[in-house]
Amino acid sequence: MTLNADFTKMAKAIRLLVLVAVAAGSSAEAVDKYYEDLASQQTVKFAEKTGTPIGILTTSNGAPVEYRDANVSLNRRIITNEFLLETLTHLNRQRIPERVVHANAAGASGYFEVTHDITDICKAKFLNQINKKTPVAVRFSTTIPNIGGSDTTRDGRGFAVKFYTEDGNFDLVGLSFPVFSIKDPLFFPTFANAQGRNPATFLTDDNMRWDFFTLRPEIFHFLMYRFGDEGIPDGYRHMPGFSIHTYQVINEHGNYSFVRFHLVSNQGFKYLTSAEATRIGGLDPDYAIRDLYNAIANGDYPSWQLYVQVLSLEDVKRADFDVFDTTRILPLDKYPLRPVGQLVLNKNPVNYFAEVEQIAMCPNHLVPGILGAPDQLFQSRRLSYRDAQLYRLGANFQNIPINCPFRSFTYNINGLFNLEKTDDSPSYYPNTYNGPVPYVDVNKGELIEIVQDSSLSFDQAARHYDNLTEGARERLIGNFVDSLGKASINLQERALKWFRLIHEELAERVEHGLLYNRNKQQRSVDHGWGYR
């Protein structure tokens, strides 16, 4: 007992040293508050809470496992040891297909509380009363890294919220940036592939990235955020969330409005520089997951204010740009933020796989009052997200507890793990035998029809650069130079062409940085300092 106690104390001391090292390596603005590292002590806390073993070990069939079967298999018949057979065969099946994007993630649950009345624009029931609370589950994620990848990589991040409303689940599937990389869904698969690993070398490849970037220059507004301070938030608690799409909503009278959702962190926005992110990621690649878990476990519940930017149908018609273009923001001076409520996370997952890996976010999970978005990208996401969940989790993924709505009456039958239909009601529609029937809503509404073009405009990217502080500009340019410097010279020249269309100063400073690094590398080779 003394040896175990000493070992535990030593482990805590080592862990504390690592945390101190991380904090010491960060800037003052990146350091928040010290939390007891309850994530590392989860198993210890469980043992303290239970006091004794929680029960007799069984197989999944419920049969008790005898001591010898659980402790030795040498010189015994393997085929008669059900515990051994079950654990071996289950091990080969305990992974499911990984998400192609947004694989590496953290998650938590809590509630959303309405603080302001918006029933004049939206009849969704979970928004119809001040102080009304709705349970939520949230998944934060990096975009490109695989499961186990570093939380501190420079990347856009997912911010997805599942609202468990009385009218079914509403999934708000957003990003940490207010704009997306593309507006034509045709190019999303290749955008994802260009960001991934080179199929020949299995390494990330800056030539692939910048080749795609410079061939689809609408992405450059997105890149201003990715390579800026927003590209590496200091953990998920300090990260904002944006719906990207302009949603169409409807009130009880059948009147349309259009909104973009904003989630603003009450912890404030904080970021890591590239150097800090590299240092922290080397010490603790799970930095953001650990930070979120420890904050909640220590009772410091993170929260966000939900706002909407609101446009009328006339505003949409009068706008001098496409308000449904996901590569553009809606200017706050024209369309100010209107408060809606507060999102609070106060419960960590009990089982990460069940509650974070198996949560199925889909943009097509909508509720009456929220019609979705009329743009092509949103329509495409309705298909691709559903298909991803069907592939990963099967036809009955909605039956997994984390995905279950409060109630559902469907005519979906059979398939793997179908736990939904537990009565003897009819299995087809229509029928005259009292199966579930649809409701009638004379003001249901339909998405408006829009026409979008592929024209380029860099005015918002230029305005973004103009609004940066000098320090933020230096970091943005340094990050561009670091990434572009690894690409071929012809790709650097193609990128500079687009930078010049955004802002002449931006292009000049990036070009100067590239030339400086190129000359520095040449001097190293001339003096024999390069690789041999």
Inform me whether the pLDDT recorded for 234 exceeds 50.
yes
Average pLDDT, integer, range 47-63: 92
Q: Which pLDDT score, from 0 to 100, does residue 372 have?
A: 97
Inform me whether the pLDDT recorded for 10 exceeds 50.
no
Beta-carbon contacts of 393 under 8 Å, excluding residues fewer than 6 positions away, are: 96, 358, 360, 400
H or E segment to which residue 207 belongs: helix 206-215
Q: Which pLDDT score, from 0 to 100, does residue 12 have?
A: 46
* pLDDT, mean over the chain: 91
Q: What is the 3-state secondary structure of 155-195? A: CCEEEEEEEEECCEEEEEEEECCCCCCCCCHHHHHHHHHHH
Q: Taking each helix axis from N to C terminus, what angle separates 206-215 and 188-195, rounded to the nearest 10 degrees?
A: 150
Which of 13-27, 111-125, 332-346, 387-401 is the least confident region? 13-27
Per-residue confidence at 418, pLDDT binned at 50, 70, 90?
confident
Does residue 33 fall inside a structural domain?
Answer: no
Instruction: Please identify, among 359, 379, 403, the residue that sits at the C-terminal boundary of a domain.
Output: 403
Does residue 204 fall inside a structural domain?
Answer: no
Tell me the sheet residues that pair with 165: 168
Q: Within 10 A of 517 (CB to CB), how many other CB atoms are there?
A: 14
Q: Which pLDDT score, from 0 to 100, does residue 13 have?
A: 44
What are the structure tokens assigned to 473, written together?
């500009």
Q: Which pLDDT score, from 0 to 100, does residue 9 have?
A: 47
Per-residue confidence at 118, pLDDT binned at 50, 70, 90?
very high
Inform me whether the pLDDT recorded for 215 exceeds 70.
yes
Beta-carbon contacts of 421 under 8 Å, excluding residues fewer than 6 positions away, are: 410, 412, 413, 427
Inform me whether the pLDDT recorded for 348 exceeds 70.
yes
Average pLDDT, integer, range 321-348: 97
In this predicted model, what pLDDT tens digit does every residue of 216-225 receive, in sequence order?
999 999 999 9
CB 460 within 8 A of CB 328: yes
Q: Which pLDDT score, from 0 to 100, does residue 7 have?
A: 38
Longest dimension (CA), the chain: 88
Domain count for the chain, please give it.
3
Does residue 11 fall inside a structural domain?
Answer: no
Per-residue confidence at 524, pLDDT binned at 50, 70, 90?
low
Cis before residue 430, ω within 30 degrees of 0?
yes
Inform me whether the pLDDT recorded for 516 exceeds 80.
yes
C-alpha 415/C-alpha 427 separation (Å) is: 14
Same domain, 90 and 111: no
Helices (H), 375-503: 376-393, 459-466, 470-484, 489-502
Same domain, 372 and 502: no
Inform me whether the pLDDT recorded for 31 exceeds 50.
no
DSSP 258: E
Same domain, 306 and 380: yes
**3-state SS, residue 328:** coil
Same domain, 156 and 272: yes
Per-residue confidence at 435, pLDDT binned at 50, 70, 90?
confident
In terms of DSSP bridges, do strands 105-114 and 337-347 run parallel, antiparallel, or are they unpaired? antiparallel
Per-residue confidence at 152, pLDDT binned at 50, 70, 90?
very high
Same domain, 380 and 480: no
Question: What is the residue whose two structure tokens read 């073009």?
Answer: 453
CB 142 within 8 A of CB 104: yes
472 closest CA partner among 184, 154, 231: 231
Average pLDDT, integer, range 423-444: 88
Same domain, 263 and 384: yes
| CATH number of the domain where residue 337 is located | 2.40.180.10
Does residue 73 fall inside a structural domain?
Answer: yes
Q: Which pLDDT score, from 0 to 100, does residue 525 have?
A: 56
C-alpha 143/C-alpha 228 separation (Å) is: 16
C-alpha 470/C-alpha 359 separation (Å) is: 41
Question: How remote is the C-alpha of 302 from its chain's centroid?
Answer: 16
Inform me whether the pLDDT recorded for 401 exceeds 80.
yes
Average pLDDT, integer, range 271-283: 96
Per-residue confidence at 263, pLDDT binned at 50, 70, 90?
very high
CB 16 within 8 A of CB 38: no
C-alpha 312/C-alpha 256 separation (Å) is: 7
Which of 73-87, 259-273, 343-357, 369-383 is the least confident region? 73-87
Burial class (CB within 10 angstroms; exposed 0-12, middle 13-18, buried 19+) of 72: exposed
**How many percent of the chain have pLDDT more than 70?**
91
Instruction: Please identify, among 94, 119, 144, the residue that sits at the C-terminal boundary of a domain.
Output: 94
Per-residue confidence at 110, pLDDT binned at 50, 70, 90?
very high
Does residue 289 fall inside a structural domain?
Answer: yes
Same domain, 260 and 380: yes
Backbone angles phi, psi at 162, to 5 degrees: -105, 115
Q: Which pLDDT score, from 0 to 100, does residue 425 have?
A: 86
Same domain, 266 and 329: yes
Torsion of CA 411, 414, 419, 423, to 10 degrees: 50
Domain that holds residue 84: 56-94
